[in-house]
Amino acid sequence: MPEFYLIPKRLARKSPRLTSMVKSVEAVSFRAIFWLMRRLSVENALRLSGFTFGLIGPLTDKANKARENLAIAFPTESDEWRRKNTRKIFNHLGRSAAELIKLDQIWAERDERVELVFEPGAREHMASKRPTVYLTAHVGAWQVATLVTREFAIDISAIYAPESNPIMSDVMMGLRQSLGDHLIPTDAGPRPLIQTLKDGGSIVMAMDTRPETGKLIPFFGRDALTSTSPAGLALRTNSTLVVARAERLPGAKYRITVYTPLTSPIPDAPVKEQSVALTAMVHEYFEAWIREYPEQWVCLKRRWPKAHKL
């Protein structure tokens, strides 16, 4: 998650006093927005949050990162196309915030709001409750995608990136409780993830952002630093790798699709090579989603190496 939302981090870091003030202002602002959204219907919460984020987001330095990512993924599109879709990205970021707040309500109203779609083998696999690494991307209603595990009462641990703003961290932790039975921070390392899978549990994460370390794997035809750890975890613990996504439909409704469990295209190769091959397969899903909904791809950090910056 970003360290600062409302002003460029370079400005906020110029003085400790300014940094402290900005963090407090941000926390108060978001608390007020979240308090109001809890009292609204799902539809109105989505509209309010989408409008608010869509109004402020394009004015922040995060908008530049979103435009740069769009420029690399869609090099033939115009600057105006990228500006327009960047504005929409922040609207959808706001909708995602509202969905996190309303996640339990969305599930409680699932008969009217949620459509579940399973590709061949997906339903049977989920019903078996075998240890699984569920993957999604920050496209569409990615947090709603986790709800499908509730349909099968799967013991799920959600992986999350902690906020550097401690006040915002407390706010977000309360909201994230709806994502899974357990929460594991990204900085906890691989041990709790391995233990979870070995104990028969499953984990879920969004893995389309740039990690600190990883392998260069093609993404939209250009090498992008990508974590192969999810695939490696599945291979080393004899777990399954499954991709899922949630699409926004009109009227605050959703379609959650669970895809056929992935299998290694090179099962006799070393685990590291299989991890790269499986991650490349996951990228193909993410690329397809982003091409379908470029205005819903919430990637607000540099995704490709600086050499690819346009």
pLDDT of 171 strictly over 80: no
Average pLDDT on 76-87 reads 96
Instruction: Supply the pLDDT for residue 88.
Output: 96
User: Is residue 3 assigned to a domain?
Assistant: no
Element at 292 (helix H, strand E): helix 271-292
Task: For the chain, give the mean pLDDT.
Answer: 88
Q: Is 181 or 275 the better-scoring residue by pLDDT?
A: 275
β-pair partners for 15? none
User: Is residue 4 assigned to a domain?
Assistant: no
**Would you place residue 3 in the very low, low, confident or very high pLDDT band (cuts 50, 70, 90)?**
very low
User: Is residue 244 assigned to a domain?
Assistant: yes
Element at 28 (helix H, strand E): helix 16-38
d(CA 160, CA 166): 15
- Which of 188, 199, 259, 200 has its CA nearest to residue 229? 188
Q: Could you tell me if 246 and 106 are in contact, meaning their C-beta atoms sit under 8 angstroms apart?
A: no
Instruction: Supply the pLDDT for residue 19.
Output: 64
User: Is residue 119 assigned to a domain?
Assistant: yes
pTM over 0.75: yes
User: Is residue 28 assigned to a domain?
Assistant: yes
Q: What is the pLDDT of residues 231-257, one digit of tens each?
A: 999 999 999 999 999 999 999 999 999
User: Is residue 310 assigned to a domain?
Assistant: no
β-pair partners for 206? 136
Supply the DSSP string of 264-291, one letter for each residue: -S-TTS-HHHHHHHHHHHHHHHHHHHHH
Q: Could you tell me if 242 and 262 are in contact, meaning their C-beta atoms sit under 8 angstroms apart?
A: yes
Q: Is 128 or 16 the better-scoring residue by pLDDT?
A: 128
List of residues 6+ apart from 277 with CB closer than 8 A: 264, 265, 266, 269
pLDDT of 165 strictly over 80: no
Per-residue CA distances from 214 to 191, 217, 229, 244 (Å): 17, 9, 8, 22
Per-residue tokens: 31: 């608390």
Number of domains forming the structure of the chain: 1
**CB half-sphere exposure, 47, CA atoms < 13 A:** 7
**Would you place residue 164 in the very low, low, confident or very high pLDDT band (cuts 50, 70, 90)?**
low
Q: What is the pLDDT of residues 22-45, one digit of tens each?
A: 667 777 777 777 788 888 999 999
User: Is residue 72 assigned to a domain?
Assistant: yes
d(CA 102, CA 97): 9
User: Is residue 67 assigned to a domain?
Assistant: yes
Instruction: Supply the pLDDT for residue 168.
Output: 61
Instruction: Supply the pLDDT for residue 174.
Output: 62
Domain residues for the domain of 96 are 9-305
Count of all residues that appear for the chain in the document: 310
